[in-house]
Structure 1
Amino acid sequence: MTIHLADERQLLEGLVDAQRHEVVGILEDLDEAEARSRLVPSLTTPLGLVKHATFVEKVWFHSRVAGVPRSVVGLPDTVDESFVLADADTVDGVRQAFLDACARSRAVAATHDLDEQFPWHQGPVSLRFIYGHMVAELARHAGHGDILVEQIRAQRPTRA
């Protein structure tokens, strides 16, 4: 089934998965130093973007949809903290953590209907809303990553 012929659920899942793929692509072809490059005043780095995307998956699916408290999921208290890199964070480790979070998110979402509602600080939201929010959130960060990676690659020495 191609995504443009899918039913609503398959379409939403496919759109989120397409953006997840783009987020993973941020780290493609970057070494450890490049992945940690800070090219903007904020905490945003390629590696930090993928780490933040893991946080986003866990906030929405592992905590909100699955109903597991944030402290049990191991989420930082603030969004900014989700971009902070530890010395132990590596390209492979952060990539795998994101892939694992996505797999868990898919498993959690599969047990719920699109119309089912979940608590949010602005009021209840449906799984349908969460999918739409995730498409926007992941697409925004994948775009940030594309720009950072373009800048990093432009700084590489040219090969003769």
Structure 2
Amino acid sequence: MSIGQADERALLEGMVDIQRDEITRILEDLDDEEARRKLVPSLTTPLGLVKHATFVEKVWFHSRVANVPRQEIGLPDTVDESFVLAPDDTVESVRAAYLAACDHSREVAAAHDLGEEFPWHGKQVSLRFVYAHMIQELARHAGHGDILVEQIRAARQSS
């Protein structure tokens, strides 16, 4: 069955997984120096985007849906901190951490119904909302990554 003919849950899971794949593609064909390259004034780098996507997976699924305090997971306090690279972060280590976070997110989500609700900024949101939010969040960052990688590849050709 294609994703276009799937039931609601399979559709949402499939769309999130498509965007997760797009996030992993950000680092495809980049070496560690290129992946750390800062091309915009913010903390956004290709490697930082994937590290941030790991943070997003953990905030929404590992903490909020699984009801595990952020401190137990070791999440930074601010979104900006989620883009900060450690000296030992590499393309391989950040990619592996992201893939592991996605696997755990799938396991967490599988234990909950789409209509089940979780706290978010003093409100309740459903797992359905979490999936929709993740689709838009990951798609936006995958697009950011596409632009950065395009600039890096163009610089390769001009040198």
Fold shared, TM-score > 0.5 on shorter chain? yes
1:19 aligns with 2:19: yes
Whole-angstrom distance in 1 between the partners of 2:16 and 2:44: 22
Q: Residue 119 of structure 1: SS of its match in structure 2?
A: strand
Match of 1:124 in 2: 124
Match of 1:9 in 2: 9
Whole-angstrom distance in 2 between the partners of 1:122 and 1:154: 45
Mind listing any 5+ residue stretches in structure 2 that lack a counterpart? Answer: none
Whole-angstrom distance in 2 between the partners of 1:158 and 1:138: 30
Whole-angstrom distance in 1 between the partners of 2:136 and 2:122: 18
Post-superposition CA distance 1:27-85 (Å, at most 9, x none):
00000000001000000000000000000000000000000000001100000000000
Match of 1:34 in 2: 34
Whole-angstrom distance in 2 between the partners of 1:91 and 1:27: 7
Whole-angstrom distance in 1 between the partners of 2:40 and 2:79: 17
Q: Following superposition of structure 1 onto structure 2, how do residues 50-61 of structure 1 map, counting pairs within 5 Å?
A: 50-61=50-61
Match of 2:156 in 1: 156
State the Cα distance separating 1:158 from its structure 2 match. 5.8
Match of 1:48 in 2: 48
Whole-angstrom distance in 2 between the partners of 1:153 and 1:2: 33
The 1:122–1:148 alpha-carbon spacing in structure 2 relative to 1, beyond 3 Å, is: farther
Q: Following superposition of structure 1 onto structure 2, how do residues 75-86 of structure 1 map, counting pairs within 5 Å?
A: 75-86=75-86
Whole-angstrom distance in 2 between the partners of 1:157 and 1:16: 33
Aligned residue pairs, count? 159
Mind listing any 5+ residue stretches in structure 1 that lack a counterpart? Answer: none
Post-superposition CA distance 1:102-124 (Å, at most 9, x none):
00000000000000000111411
RMSD: 1.0
Q: Residue 124 of structure 1: SS of its match in structure 2?
A: strand
Match of 1:97 in 2: 97
State the Cα distance separating 1:157 from its structure 2 match. 3.7
Q: Residue 156 of structure 1: SS of its match in structure 2?
A: helix
Whole-angstrom distance in 1 between the partners of 2:158 and 2:55: 36
Q: Which residue type is aligned with residue 37 of structure 2?
A: S
Q: Among all aligned residue pairs of Structure 1 and Structure 2, give the percentage whose two residues are the same amino acid.
A: 74
Whole-angstrom distance in 1 between the partners of 2:74 and 2:5: 38
- TM-score normalized by the length of structure 2: 0.98
